[in-house]
Amino acid sequence: MTAHANHSEENKSLRPQEGPKRHIITFIVSIFLTALAFFAVAYMPESPFVIPFIVLIGLIQAGFQLYVWMHLDQKGHEFPTLGIWMGVFFVAAFIIVFIYWLGGY
Amino acid sequence: MAGHGHVAHSPKRHTGLMDWLTTVDHKKIGILYLVAGGFFFLLGGLEAILIRIQLMYPDSKIFIGATFNELTTMHGTTMIFLAAMPVIFALMNAVVPLQIGARDVAFPFLNSLGFWLFFMGGLLLNTSWFLGGAPDAGWTAYAPLSSAFSGRGVDFYVLGLQIAGIGTWLGGINFLVTIINMRAPGLSFMRLPMFTWTAFITSTLVLFAFPAITVSLVLLMFDRLFGANFFDAAAGGNEVIWEHLFWIFGHPEVYILILPAFGVISEVMPTFSKKRLFGYSAMVFSTVLIGFLGFMVWAHHMFTVGLGPVANAIFGVATMLIAIPTGIKIFNWLFTLWGGHIRFTTAMLYAVGFIPTFVIGGMTGVMLAIPTADYQYHDTYFVIAHFHYVIVGGMVLGLFSGLYYWWPKMFGRMLNETLGKWNFWTFFIGFHLTFFPQHFLGLLGMPRRVFTYQAGVGLESMNFISTIGAFLMGVGFIIFIWNVIVTNSKKKDAPADPWDARTLEWTIASPAPEYNFAQTPLVRGLDALWTEKMAGNKKMTPAEPLGEIHMPSASILPFLMSVGLFIAGYGFIYHMYVLIGVGAVIVVSCMFTRSFKDDPGWHVPIDEVERTEKEARA
């Protein structure tokens, strides 16, 4: 409807060093982390650390996805960032309560 | 953006029923929400009166057993999901885009879809009355009663609320995006009118709370329809998980309901006191804080489940914390009134009546937040009295206030003030007659959801008074309906600014033209219109030249999509896979059409804008 799209602001938010470099680096690191996950399962199937380890590298990859590939680190993404972290906070609270006080047993 | 690139094709304008089915105009969708919500409010109110008739005398046998369970379940479900939510969305649709100087919401198509999904979900739920019995497991539908020991009615509850819930969720997202992105130039967040602020926080709560009910309804659906065991303790499930998930949704839901009422009161009080809102920034802060804390207190509905003293203490204290931001609000409203030039219009009467009533509800809320005391109150009429004081005494009084205040902007006609005052006093006195005695009924031990009580244990007189009060509330609502009919038969003569008000929606004609603002206004202070009035200006400074206005196209797809889900809903309930298929095909082909058919919208030409504006001023 109304012309609220602010083109000059969008241009400003593109940093000068912005290029394919960060994408390539995170892509390679992500592949490396995925490979690590396969190795962990293949060589230490009995270890209790395998699942926490895979969850951890999964979180790192999710961070790459959000902040590098989906541009969450750029200007104008304050509300999505706030929303995501608020959701994470709420869900963390729910999980803590579920773990300790689910009740009914 | 407007006017470049696209060739303005001739506007396709529908009339009559087709116009209402296809409209994407937020003002018309607001009216649709109001009519549908009003209809369901009438149904829920009728159910309430029937409940009170059964409880008028001890040992009555009018509506007993399953029928009484159906009445209480459908009263609660209808009032919360199908009456309160849509009337809130009615006001948000009618007011928020106008208050922020926008021409529509961010996603007009989604807005229409949200309405029709809610409506079809509500319809599906209510058809259960004619198809073998309504849901009867309480509006909270606790498992395993709802999962293993209830009839087909609960399937209607699950599918109906699921469809309606998708609609509400879409509405919430839409208003978030609208308020973030479509504010007029100069309208910073700390200049937003309070109603828009509360709409914003309410939408955030919708965004985060509704996924929880979606998940719990999916689990219940799988347990009931496909033989899953989420709530079957014998098979390794856990029925308490339903209570957690339901209240993770259910507690934010009560703030979803009350915050817009707070917003209405914060608009009505300054206007009719002729003062700016006292402590605007504290009001904003307390709204945000209430929204945040609302997510951290759900287990106070579960004190008697046996979570243990640590959980009960944490959730009890967290609950009491909410009294602080709420108290800030109450005092700010009182200070707004203080020394003001007060006009007691009907809207103001409702706003003033709201304060003591809501404070009583808040006070009993803090009483209920004490876990040890809650063991006494739990599942008694004390709880019923408490939440009716906050929901009816808080939200409904607030919504009535808002309806009387914004009626001229929505419909171009002023509601009759004399009838309005009759409406207020009958409803207000009826409300207190109904629910005040219920506190004491609860303390005497009368349990909720039980269809009768014995004579000679001291419950007769207060139950009788309560039923009389319910009749009086019914009379009050009928006077409101009468007022609407009387008003509707007169000509549209409401001025643009009938209340000498302060915010942007009063700068344009009543009712607002299709495009709202001929020119986007420039906002130069809190209470944008009042700022200009104080500067001696007759109208807002425009922020753009007059030009042709880009409008979204009307579409029948949202209605068809909702019909598709409605049909699929019956398919799930009756295990008729053909119906599920038919519904799914309708929904998916509508989505396909929406995605691949390019729709550039249409333009209102300049001369039509000028003509409309001239007619409005004449």
Q: What is the pLDDT of residue A6?
A: 44
DSSP state of B556: S
Query: Max alpha carbon distance in chain B (Å)?
Result: 80
On whether both A64 and A89 belong to a single domain, the answer is no
Closest by Cβ to A102, choosing from B104, B181, B238: B238
* Residue predicted with more confidence, B615 or B276: B276
Residue A14 lies in a domain: no
- And the tokens for B6? 């696209």
User: Is the torsion defined by CA of B339, B343, B345, B347 positive or negative?
Assistant: negative
Peptide bond connecting B211 to the previous residue in cis, omega within 30 degrees of 0: no
Domain encompassing residue A86: 76-105
Is the Cβ–Cβ distance between B253 and B214 less than 8 Å? no
Q: How far is B193 from chain A (nearest CA, A)?
A: 20
Predicted confidence band of residue B11 (pLDDT cuts 50, 70, 90): low
Nearest CA-CA partner of B337 in B346, B349, B325: B349
Q: Rounded to an integer, what distance in angstroms lies between the CA atom of residue B380 and that of residue B431? A: 19
Report the percentage of chain B scoring pLDDT > 90.
92
Q: pLDDT (tens digit, 9 = 90+) per residue, B304-363?
A: 998 889 999 999 999 999 999 999 999 999 999 999 999 999 999 999 999 999 999 999
Nearest CA-CA partner of B516 in B391, B419, B612: B612
Q: What is the pLDDT of residue B4?
A: 44
The DSSP bridge partners found for residue B551 are B602
The ipTM assigned to this model is 0.82
On whether both A102 and A69 belong to a single domain, the answer is no
Q: pLDDT (tens digit, 9 = 90+) per residue, B390-400?
A: 999 999 999 99
Q: Which residues of A touch B308 (CB under 8 A)?
A: 101, 103
State yes or no: pLDDT of B236 exceeds 60: yes
On whether both A34 and A60 belong to a single domain, the answer is yes
Q: How far is B306 from chain A (nearest CA, A)?
A: 6
Nearest CA-CA partner of B485 in B401, B419, B406, B422: B419
Q: pLDDT (tens digit, 9 = 90+) per residue, B559-607?
A: 999 999 999 999 999 999 999 999 999 999 999 999 999 888 999 999 9
State yes or no: pLDDT of B92 exceeds 80: yes
- And the tokens for B143? 């498992």
Q: Is A3 on the interface with B (CB under 8 A)?
A: yes
Q: How far is B549 from chain A (nearest CA, A)?
A: 7
CB pair distance less than 8 Å for B244 and A93: no
On whether both A62 and A82 belong to a single domain, the answer is no
State yes or no: pLDDT of B174 exceeds 70: yes
On whether both A81 and A52 belong to a single domain, the answer is no
Q: Is B301 on the interface with A (CB under 8 A)?
A: no
Q: Which residue of A has its CA nearest to B1?
A: A3
Q: How far is A47 from chain B (nearest CA, A)?
A: 27
Q: Which residues of A touch B302 (CB under 8 A)?
A: 103
Q: Rounded to an integer, what distance in angstroms lies between the CA atom of residue B182 and that of residue B186? A: 11
Is the Cβ–Cβ distance between B22 and B108 less than 8 Å? no
Q: What is the pLDDT of residue A76?
A: 84
Q: Is A99 on the interface with B (CB under 8 A)?
A: no
Is the Cβ–Cβ distance between B155 and B75 less than 8 Å? no
Q: What is the pLDDT of residue B5?
A: 42
Closest by Cβ to A5, choosing from B1, B102, B308: B1
The pLDDT mean for chain B works out to 94
Is the Cβ–Cβ distance between B219 and B230 less than 8 Å? yes
Q: Is A87 on the interface with B (CB under 8 A)?
A: yes
Q: Is B142 on the interface with A (CB under 8 A)?
A: no
Q: Which range is least confidently modeled, A67-71, B71-75, B205-209, B550-554? A: A67-71
Q: What is the pLDDT of residue B425?
A: 98
Residue A68 lies in a domain: yes
Span B16-555+599-617 CATH architecture: Up-down Bundle (1.20)
Q: Is B233 on the interface with A (CB under 8 A)?
A: yes
Q: Is A103 on the interface with B (CB under 8 A)?
A: yes
Q: Is A93 on the interface with B (CB under 8 A)?
A: yes
On whether both A26 and A66 belong to a single domain, the answer is yes
Q: How far is A20 from chain B (nearest CA, A)?
A: 30
The DSSP bridge partners found for residue B21 are none
Paired sense of beta strands B549-551 and B602-604, if any: antiparallel
Residue A84 lies in a domain: yes
Give the mean pLDDT of B521-542. 94
Q: Which residue of A has its CA nearest to B600?
A: A1
Q: What is the pLDDT of residue B616?
A: 83
Closest by Cβ to A101, choosing from B307, B520, B549: B307
Q: Which residues of B touch A97 (CB under 8 A)?
A: 244, 299, 311
Is the Cβ–Cβ distance between B94 and B410 less than 8 Å? yes
3-state SS string over B116-165? HHHHHHHHHHHHHHHCCCCCCCCCCCCCCHHHHCCCCHHHHHHHHHHHHH
On whether both A85 and A98 belong to a single domain, the answer is yes
Q: What is the pLDDT of residue A98?
A: 85
Q: How far is B207 from chain A (nearest CA, A)?
A: 9
Residue A42 lies in a domain: yes
On whether both A84 and A52 belong to a single domain, the answer is no
On whether both A66 and A23 belong to a single domain, the answer is yes
Q: What is the pLDDT of residue B12?
A: 63
Q: Is A96 on the interface with B (CB under 8 A)?
A: no
- And the tokens for B272? 């009719």
Q: Which residues of B touch A98 (CB under 8 A)?
A: 241, 244
Residue A55 lies in a domain: yes
Neighbours of B9 (CB within 10 A): 11
Is the Cβ–Cβ distance between B582 and B566 less than 8 Å? no
On whether both A28 and A69 belong to a single domain, the answer is yes
Q: Is B287 on the interface with A (CB under 8 A)?
A: no
**What is the pLDDT tens value at each position of chain A, 105 positions in all?**
444 444 444 444 455 456 788 889 999 999 999 999 999 999 888 888 898 999 999 999 999 998 888 888 888 888 889 999 999 999 999 988 888 877 544
Q: pLDDT (tens digit, 9 = 90+) per residue, B482-495?
A: 999 999 999 988 99
Predicted confidence band of residue B369 (pLDDT cuts 50, 70, 90): very high
Phi, psi of B494 (to 5 degrees): -70, 135
Q: Which residues of A touch B244 (CB under 8 A)?
A: 94, 97-98, 102
| Side chain identity, residue B47 | E
Closest by Cβ to B103, choosing from A2, A5, A90: A2
Q: Is A78 on the interface with B (CB under 8 A)?
A: no
Q: Is B307 on the interface with A (CB under 8 A)?
A: yes
CB pair distance less than 8 Å for B299 and A93: no
Q: Return the residue matching tokens 């038969």.
A: B489
Is the Cβ–Cβ distance between B110 and B168 less than 8 Å? no
Q: Which residues of B touch A79 (CB under 8 A)?
A: 176, 180
Q: pLDDT (tens digit, 9 = 90+) per residue, B189-202?
A: 999 999 999 999 99
On whether both A100 and A64 belong to a single domain, the answer is no
Q: Which residues of A touch B552 (CB under 8 A)?
A: 1
CB pair distance less than 8 Å for A104 and B239: yes
Q: What is the pLDDT of residue A21?
A: 86
Q: Which residues of B touch A87 (CB under 8 A)?
A: 208
Q: Is A7 on the interface with B (CB under 8 A)?
A: no
Q: Rounded to an integer, what distance in angstroms lies between the CA atom of residue B347 and that of residue B229? A: 51
On whether both A40 and A69 belong to a single domain, the answer is yes
Is the Cβ–Cβ distance between B499 and B272 less than 8 Å? yes
Give me the number of domains chain A comprises.
2
Closest by Cβ to A103, choosing from B180, B182, B240: B240
Closest by Cβ to B295, choosing from A90, A98, A101: A90
